[in-house]
Every structure is written in C-alpha cells, then in structure tokens.
Structure 1
C-alpha cells in the first residue's frame, strides 16, 4: 500500500476509532476496497473474522457468518472507504465506479468535502496518498488495478500479483496479460532460463504453469473463454445482478456446510472457485 499523507492517516485513524478496529485493520480494508475498484472488497484479517467479501449495494460475507454486529460494522466501514476513495483523483478507473451518496441520505457517512468545510483549510478533497515519483513506470499493469501485493522482473518479463482480487498481470514482449489466479495462494515465481521461457509460480498446489490460468485481458482488451477479444460493454456501471447475488448466497451456504464438517476443505475450495468463476 502506498504511503498515506498526514491527512490520510488522520482520516483512517478516525474511522478506526469510530468502528472500533485497529489502524492496521482499516488500512488493509482500504487496500481491499481500492483493489475492488471502489465497488467491492475481498479481505482477510483476524479483526474481520478472517476472510470475507463485500459488494456495494448491501452484500456482505464474513467468516463469523452469524455475527450480525461484525457484519454491520464491516459493511459500514467498507461503504465509507468506498465513498472516500471515490474522491481521490485518478485512483479508480474512470467509468467503473459510481458513488451513491446523495444529500442527507449519507449524512452519517464520512465525507471528505465535509471535513474540509469544517476546517480552516482550503476546500477540495484531501489527498490520501503520497504520489509516487514516477506514476507511469510504477503502474504498467492494467488501469484500475492498484497496489499489488508483490512485483518482480526476470529476463525482460515482469509481473504484479494482486492477491486480494485474485489477479496476476504479466508484461512480456511488449504485451500485458491479466490472469485470474482462481484460488491459488501464490508464494513465488520462476522462469526457465531462456529467452521467452515459460513462467511458473508456486502455490498451495505446488508448481503451476502460468499458461494454465484463465486469461482476463490482453493489453486491456477483455478475452472470452476461448481467448478471443470481446466487445466492451456499453454500460460500464453494472449493478449487482440477481445471478451474482445467488452465487454469493450459495457460497455462504457452502461455508456453513464446511463449518459443520459436511464438506471437506478441498470440496469447499473447489466449489467456491467454480462459483466465483461464473461472476
């Protein structure tokens, strides 16, 4: 995660105190919201009951699925972080996020503009992060992806791994390919010692060839299941569909079955990966 400005640290600290979470926990959730382009978050932190998911519009899943107080706290915090990052210039991909804050309906939510109006400082949004020294070289991966968990380069090939949203970007031969890492928890990369050698990674399943992963896009052009370019959707702001809601409800039921010992971890992970692949 990029370095917070003093103003950004103050904002996160206020949110942490108000929702009774630690500063580090709120920072980790902020990164998850940013990685979800402001409209969703996949998080994993002990204070949030382990792993969970949030989607703008009301969907929330946590490991402690019957803890409604925890669900409400995380959902409220995600909503405020979502509104907060939406105010940051160039932080989110244009056209992929739409704030739903309208007048007094969001008066209980944290508002960057309100904070500035109540202070003696200049009006305008607060800058959360210290800008990088070279934005173009730091962000070679597809637009909309922010703050990778790890990056590296070898033999004119470089990668950026976004564990929170299960994405892997690789630049090779002048082209950037974005992959879906499914349920792999990547811990390292390796490449054959030759020009154009295949790239592999290590996960909980051992050594895996990158080419076995589904391709999301090439040079920002989306790909279908047969790796052919597909046309961009005319509606960039897609609401949560009933199909997507059904998938998340099914995952929540699977989690309950796993917690009761009816499903094994392997069965649960396989079915969850299959369901997420339908989104």
Structure 2
C-alpha cells in the first residue's frame, strides 16, 4: 500500500490526477515509484497505465504494449511532472535512511522490485538492500555512473556501469566478507576465450584484487597461448 502524501502535497497530487485523467491512487503510486528510483527512474505496475512498465528521465519509457506510443507519451508526461514535484515538494513523510549512517550522503539512490541501492563515491561503497537485508560493498576503483534495471527480472539483477564497464555485486568484495573468487584459467587455446580471460583479469586488477605482478604474470601466460 502506498503511503499517504503530506497534506501540503495532497492538492498537487489531486490536480495532476485531474489534468492527466487518472485516479489519485494511480498518480500516488507513480510518485512512490519515482521516489524509490531517486526521482530519475521508476519501475511501476499500475493498471490504469497498462500494468507493468519502466521510465527513465531523458531515456526509455516501457509499457505493457510496446507499440502503444500514446500510452508511452502519457507515462512520460506524468513522470516528468511528478519528478519536478518531488524535487520541489516533500510529497511523502520523511523516512529513516535504510543504509548505515557512517556511509554519509549518497550521490544516487534507486530501487527495483524489492531491491534498493545507494552509491557513496567518497567512501567507495555501494549499499544494496534485498528483501529487507542490507549489504555494503567496496566499489574499489569503480566510479559508478549508471544503473541497468531489468524489468521483470529476479531480485538482485540490478547491474551498474562505471569507467571499467558493466558489473553486478557478485564481482565486488562485501565489506566484512571475502573477496569474490578469481575465475579459473581458460581451458584450451581458443583466441576469443583467452582474450576474454585477459579482459576479466584486467577487471580484477583494476579493482585491486590482483597485484601488478600477479596481473602481469597471468597476462603473459595467456598471451603465450595465442
């Protein structure tokens, strides 16, 4: 159930619902989805708007019927207006942050289904909450600049992008946990497999999992197979 808006936002929600020809509950549900997506993205399931869909500011709009362009335009217009409202008005009551307080202020937050994330570049940390359980990861050399959310996918399928490429939390060291395992050496001398292995090692080296010497040695071994 979507939380009730603050009294000062109630009139704005009702006005947006009237102008967009939607029920108050549908507009409120979209506003909550946008709040969970940090005001820049939303994953929603609203019957009045075609069921399940996704919206990203300045990017894609996905609805149940991918060929219904008028519905896409309707969702885009609604989300843009609600995003503006969320940036200027405290629509929902204040909530206690779900991430550890010592991480500071996140540069971005968002969510998908029952997974939420918060990025802390200054502390080089990524907080992820899945099914109510919060875990913190060391982002090492990653400078996270984007998120890829898979519509309809299982929990924990959020992927992040950085200057080092696309990755998920399985490649990061959980704070207080063990480092992710190093992939086994490739079997055979197929050039494509060897190149892929070198790229994987480069990623581990960039994250500090492999030292300079370890990376150089393993890379030389693989290059010798070409």
Q: Deviations over 1:5-59 (max 9, x none)?
A: 3330110111111111111111111011111111111111111211111011041
2: CA distance, partners of 1:165 / 1:51 = 15
Give the corresponding residue for 1:139. Answer: 97
SS of alignment partner, residue 4 of structure 1: coil
1: CA distance, partners of 2:73 / 2:30 = 15
CA contact (8 A) 1:16 1:23 kept: yes
Q: Deviations over 1:159-189 (max 9, x none)?
A: xxx65362389xxxxxx983365xxxx6xx8
Which segments of structure 1 move beyond 4 Å, counting only runs of 4 or more? 142-146
Give the corresponding residue for 2:25. Answer: 24
Structure with max Cα Rg: 2
1: CA distance, partners of 2:3 / 2:141 = 33
Q: 1:178 aligns with which of 127, 133, 137?
A: 127
* CA-CA distance at 1:141 after TM superposition: 2.4
Q: Deviations over 1:215-260 (max 9, x none)?
A: 9x62xxxx4xxxx432463xx8x589xxx6xx98xx8xxxxxxxxx
SS of alignment partner, residue 113 of structure 2: helix
- Any residues of structure 2 matched to 1:162-241 within 5 Å, and which? 164=113, 166-167=115-116, 178-179=127-128, 181=130, 218=136, 223=137, 228-231=138-141, 233=143, 238=145
Give the corresponding residue for 1:156. Answer: none
Give the corresponding residue for 1:128. Answer: 91
Structure 2: gaps spanning 5 or more residues: 101-105, 119-124, 162-226
2: CA distance, partners of 1:72 / 1:46 = 16
SS of alignment partner, residue 7 of structure 1: helix
Q: How many residues align?
A: 148
2: CA distance, partners of 1:58 / 1:163 = 17
- Any residues of structure 2 matched to 1:30-179 within 5 Å, and which? 30-88=31-89, 127-130=90-93, 132=94, 138-141=96-99, 143=106, 164=113, 166-167=115-116, 178-179=127-128
* CA-CA distance at 1:61 after TM superposition: 0.3
SS of alignment partner, residue 77 of structure 1: helix
2: CA distance, partners of 1:72 / 1:44 = 17
Tell me: CA distance 1:67–1:85, structure 2 relative to 1, closer, same or farther (3 Å).
Answer: same
* CA-CA distance at 1:4 after TM superposition: 1.8
CA contact (8 A) 1:42 1:165 kept: no
Greater relative contact order (Cα < 8 A, sep 6+): 1
2: CA distance, partners of 1:65 / 1:165 = 24
Structure 1: gaps spanning 5 or more residues: 89-126, 147-161, 170-175, 190-209, 252-267
SS of alignment partner, residue 86 of structure 1: helix
Give the corresponding residue for 1:207. Answer: none
